[in-house]
Amino acid sequence: MKYFPLVITFWLAAALAPAAYAQSNKDTLFFKAGNLMIGEIKSLDRGVVTIETNYSDKDFAVEWTKVKSLRSSSQFLITLSNGQRITGTLYAQELTDTVHIIGVSGKVTTDQSFYVPVRQIVYLKGLKESFISRMRASVDAGLNLTKANNLRQFNAKIALGYTGNHMTFDAYGQALTSIQDSVERTQRLDGGISSQYFLPKDWFLSMGINFLANTEQAIKLRTTGKVGIGKYVMHTNRKYWSAGSGLNINNENFSNQTSSRNSLEFFAASELNLFDIGDLNFLANAFVYRSLTENKRWRSDIKIDLKYDLPRDFYIKFGGTVNYDNRPAIPGNETDFILTFGVGWELD
């Protein structure tokens, strides 16, 4: 019996060790209000940090501005506001809003160790995240019915995205159909696939393929393939603004007597995304194309989306698209635009 206390001590140590080990490997968020949250940090993107805890059946989404500091022994892909990208771990400094980042060799950077204010961290993604957790998806639709002239109008849009360690991938498709008595049916279909590869100091390479069919401008099918380079002019936890340029190959077939066109174009582009204005999100992008093979031809595509978040990942969305071509297939139809309103759901 004299060994009984030792047996009990050993048994308790063996029983509690896994729990202590698991606790030590948990991530911690320290809040400005003085409290903290322990769990597993999944990501930080667009001003919101997502953390999973043992006492909740759903991940918490926390505003990054409420966080004073954080600690994690897990490896993350980290992006700073100056465009620097690091793979490493994060350790909070006592009583400060500074984080010690220790880089991991063989990844984005090599053996870096430095201190940054937590506010300079604009993006985090756990490297052990599953494929599904890196996906984004949304779908929305709208329907308008009017007694006058028996107008029926339908619009729908679907979007998919994936974020990797060094690149992003996005795809979308949208359709608009308008049917009205005594008027020819109006249709517009467009979609595309694009990718960005991140470079140091917030530079990136971009490439994409887009498709457009538009009865208003007699476009049976326009296929474009572009490649370019760009830079994030502004990149914070509240917004980002990017600009870039490159070359675009444009192939067009028309539904009227206009001959098919093939041309090489120079393009300039810009995108603004505001995602920390309450439950509102604003996204706008613009492309301007100047033909290098067709004399004095230029085009532009402008898109604006305004989204208001609702509970349970639903949202309402207002969008607008404007296309301009100074040499259209139908003279007088230089400009085409659509305005859409719909309700949708997203996976994010």
CATH at residue 222? 2.40.128.130
Same domain, 39 and 178: no
Task: Give the whole-angstrom CA distance, residue 216 versus residue 222.
Answer: 13
Same domain, 97 and 120: yes
Q: So what's the pLDDT on residue 9? A: 43
Rg, C-alpha atoms of the chain: 26
Q: So what's the pLDDT on residue 14? A: 42
Q: So what's the pLDDT on residue 348? A: 60
Q: So what's the pLDDT on residue 78? A: 87
Q: Name the nearest CA neighbour of 306 among 347, 269, 272, 336.
A: 272
Task: Give the whole-angstrom CA distance, residue 233 versus residue 269.
Answer: 12
State pTM to two decimals: 0.70
β-strand pairing of 67-80 with 60-63: unpaired
Same domain, 78 and 169: no
Q: So what's the pLDDT on residue 12? A: 43
Contacts 24+ apart (CB under 8 A), 274-277: 274/238, 274/239, 275/46, 275/47, 275/238, 275/239, 276/46, 276/47, 276/65, 276/237, 276/238, 276/239
Same domain, 323 and 197: yes
> Last residue of some domain: 81, 106, 126?
126
CA angle 311, 312, 317 (to 5 degrees): 65
Same domain, 285 and 319: yes
Same domain, 84 and 145: no
Q: Name the nearest CA neighbour of 284 among 244, 325, 240, 247.
A: 240
Which tokens go with 191?
A: 């979609």
Task: Give the whole-angstrom CA distance, residue 89 versus residue 199.
Answer: 21
Q: Burial, 61: exposed, middle or buried (Cβ in 10 Å; 0-12, 13-18, 19+)?
A: exposed
Q: So what's the pLDDT on residue 216? A: 81
> Last residue of some domain: 73, 98, 126?
126
CB 29 within 8 A of CB 49: yes
Query: Cα 310 vs. chain centroid, distance in angstroms?
Result: 19
Same domain, 274 and 338: yes
Q: Name the nearest CA neighbour of 75 among 36, 44, 53, 101.
A: 101
Predicted confidence pLDDT, tens digits, the chain (348 residues): 444 444 444 444 444 444 333 334 478 888 988 898 999 888 888 888 888 888 777 788 888 888 888 888 788 888 888 888 888 888 887 667 888 888 765 444 445 678 888 888 988 887 766 677 678 898 888 877 776 667 788 888 899 998 877 889 999 999 988 888 877 888 889 999 999 998 888 899 999 999 999 988 889 999 999 999 999 998 887 889 999 999 999 999 998 888 899 999 999 999 999 986 777 889 999 999 999 999 899 999 999 999 998 887 788 988 888 999 999 888 888 998 888 888 888 776
- Structural domain including 311 reads 133-347
Same domain, 266 and 305: yes
Please report where in the chains the tokens 């457009």 appear, as a residue. 212
Q: Name the nearest CA neighbour of 269 among 254, 251, 252, 247.
A: 247
Same domain, 17 and 81: yes
Which tokens go with 182?
A: 């005594």
Task: Give the whole-angstrom CA distance, residue 147 versus residue 150.
Answer: 5
Question: Cα separations (Å) of 184 from 149, 256, 336?
Answer: 12, 15, 16
Same domain, 166 and 112: no
| Total count of domains within the chain | 2
Please report where in the chains the tokens 């690149």 appear, as a residue. 167
CB 221 within 8 A of CB 213: yes
Same domain, 158 and 258: yes
> Last residue of some domain: 126, 144, 160?
126
Same domain, 265 and 329: yes
Task: Give the whole-angstrom CA distance, residue 78 versus residue 300.
Answer: 35
